[in-house]
Amino acid sequence: MAHGALIGAYQEDDSGGLRALLPLAGRTLLEYQVRCVAAAGTAPIVVVVERVPQALQDAFERLRLDGIGVFPVSDVHEAVSRFEAGSMILLVGDGIAPTAGLVMTISEEPEPAIATVPDDEVHEMFERIDSETRWAGVALVDSQTLGSTAAILGDWDLQSTLLRRALQDGALRWPVGGDNGAEPLLIERAEQLDGFQRTLLAGSREPRRDWASRYVLPPIEEFATRQLMETGVRPGWLMWATLGLTLAAAGAFSRGWLGVGLGLLTLSTPLDIIASRLATLRLKPLPKLSLSRRLLWPAAGIALLALGYWEGRHLGGWGAIMAAVAAAAFAEAARLEGTPGVPGEQWLLSRRNAILLAIPFALAGAWNSYLIALFAYAAAGFFYLQHVRRIESELTRS
């Protein structure tokens, strides 16, 4: 398995700038490469450069702020010194946009390996290995090969020379494509990254587990993700914003500002999805047990109870309070029962479903009716889950 990574960032694109600085998903190609190898667990990550323009320095700084250590070097012997003796090094070619899956697969190889593509017109820009194959831009080499290459390098290109030495030493050839994953791209101009960026955006979409996120929110989250991926907004900030809006809504409900509370909750509905997509695009998924994520469901329950309390004190009496408490109890019971994979799960009660369901009742001023409907919705979902689990249990026994 790879212990470190070596990335080239010195070749120019068609416009005279560095290939490494071409824009991709709101960042640069180099940042995408670094995040790919970081997601594979490699450290240290060494970037070979000839010069460090301000844009490249800014990219390094953004990576460091995200907790990813990068070491730019201009001397190959300094690069060698960064790696421990006997370590395996993941090599990513200059201007290569690999898939995260390919990087992960090659990094897990126990012996040196070189990803290859066919020698044909489609891949004519990739470096030729022999009459049948070309280098796909990702390889796994050992530190001994890197050291011996540095000793004889002279004016030769580091990547090409290192590739040749690894092949001479019998590195495994790993054909890319088909069952071995999507092919990487060799980028020489920004337009070539458009399709790859669309693929990354599509890949960041998660399963829609409720009707709100499946049928109502996709246009909003798609637009917001495209806009925010080019900013410095961090996914964690959006998760805390979701939690903050939910608690603020609870406070608004407790003061009788019902429209304001519902507005705040509605604003919060797509934020956790957008946060998750941004984290996926930046190859640093949000922890499933993060504090903001774990507190979101209890905060929604507090908002529901605050609404029931206000309605109970001023209009609906104990019936409104009991409906809110019962709805919260059934919703929690259903959550503990578990819903992933259940037929029709998108129609069961969820935080987003409950929020959007409130809108027509709010427009009609029928908040008590909403609480009763939510109680019936939550109870029906819970008993449906019980029915499904009973059937599954009977099938298992038979």
Q: What is the pLDDT of residues 271-298, one digit of tens each?
A: 999 999 999 888 888 888 889 999 999 9
For residue 47, give the 3-state DSSP assignment: strand
pLDDT of residue 113: 93
Please tell me which residue, 363 or 390, carries the higher pLDDT value: 363
Q: What is the pLDDT of residues 160-190, one digit of tens each?
A: 888 888 998 889 998 987 555 577 888 878 8
The stretch 208-233 carries a mean pLDDT of 91
The average confidence (pLDDT) of the chain is: 89
Going by DSSP bridges, is the β-strand pair 70-73/45-48 parallel, antiparallel, or unpaired?
parallel
| Residue 239 structure tokens | 């998760």
Please tell me which residue, 124 or 250, carries the higher pLDDT value: 250
pLDDT of residue 2: 65
In order of 2, 37, 166, 172, 229, the CA distances from 113 in angstroms are 11, 15, 8, 4, 33
Q: Are 163 and 127 in contact (CB under 8 A)?
A: yes
Residues of each domain in the chain carrying CATH 1.20.120.1760: 204-397
Lowest average pLDDT, out of 145-149, 213-217, 251-255, 388-392, goes to 388-392
- Distance CA(138)–CA(196), nearest Å, equals 17
pLDDT at 314 over 90: no
Classified by CATH at the fold level, domain 204-397 comes out as: Four Helix Bundle (Hemerythrin (Met), subunit A) (1.20.120)
Residue with tokens 């450069």: 49
pLDDT of residue 387: 87
Lowest average pLDDT, out of 111-125, 193-207, 290-304, 361-375, goes to 193-207
pLDDT of residue 155: 65
The stretch 207-233 carries a mean pLDDT of 91
pLDDT of residue 239: 96
Whole-model pTM: value is: 0.83
* DSSP string covering 94-139: TTEE--HHHHHHHHT-SS-EEEEEESSGGGTTSPB-SSSEEEEEEE
Residues of each domain in the chain carrying CATH 3.90.550.10: 4-195
| Residue 296 structure tokens | 């979101």
Assigned superfamily of 4-195? Spore Coat Polysaccharide Biosynthesis Protein SpsA; Chain A (3.90.550.10)
pLDDT of residue 236: 93
- Distance CA(171)–CA(79), nearest Å, equals 21
pLDDT of residue 339: 65
Q: Are 159 and 8 in contact (CB under 8 A)?
A: yes
